Amino acid sequence: MERRKLILSTGNIHKVLEIKDILKDLPIEVLSKDELGFKDLDVEEDGKTLVENAIKKAKALKEKVDGMVMADDTGLFVDYLNGEPGIKSARYSEPNPTPEKNIAKLLKELNGVPMEKRTATFVTVIALITEDGRTITVEGQCKGYIGFEKKGSSGFGYDPLFIVDGYGKTFAELGEEIKNTISHRARALYNLRNEIMNVLEDGVDEDTSSK
């Protein structure tokens, strides 16, 4: 019997590997959109919330493929900056944003701000659309601080700046193995994992409603 498929809306190889690692023990085949030939599928993230953006990206992919699809949206919410960069985290340094430019802008905005006021929360929302079109959303959060300089060599995005609560090190210092158990995305993925298990067990049971 062919395994059921979960197609990921992201083309970010770091995300793809992280997701595949966390979901590796489920009886499903996890594929990225790029692996199915949809590398050029690009969805404008113009929603007002992470939830809106995640659902929009999932729906766009669902129109192209069979199987379950998932899309995520992540934001870094810095308290001192009234929640910025928030839903604009990936494009914080527009025009032509890059991770390095995003980090440089964030450090500039926080120049002179003491550590106790550099609190921040990483939030990931994942939207799952099942084979029969039901939409399920889950969330994961991780609290910490924004460092004064980049530290560590692993991870991506803001990982070299984000000092994880209780660890005293950035995601980039902690490494993938630890990050993949405690990060915002990991926590959202573990919640998603439970939802996928319910979908696999229940089939098209209507009890699994949108959340």
Residue from 37, 42, 33 nearest 8 by CA? 33
**CA-to-CA distance for 54 and 87, rounded, in angstroms?**
11
Which single residue is written with the structure tokens 């550099």?
A: 118
3-state SS, one letter per residue, for 71-88: EEEEEEEEHHHCCCEECC
**CA-to-CA distance for 134 and 117, rounded, in angstroms?**
41
State the catalytic residue, choosing from 42, 46, 73, 207.
73
Question: Cis peptide leading into 95, omega within 30 of 0?
Answer: yes
Which single residue is written with the structure tokens 């032509």?
A: 96
In the structure encoding, which two tokens stand for residue 118, read together?
Answer: 């550099």
**CA-to-CA distance for 36 and 187, rounded, in angstroms?**
27
In the structure encoding, which two tokens stand for residue 29, read together?
Answer: 């085949």
Residue 159 annotated among the catalytic residues of the structure: no
Answer yes or no: are the C-beta atoms of 179 and 123 closer than 8 Å: no
Element (H, E) at 23: none
**CA-to-CA distance for 158 and 200, rounded, in angstroms?**
34
Give the residue numbers marked as catalytic.
Answer: 73
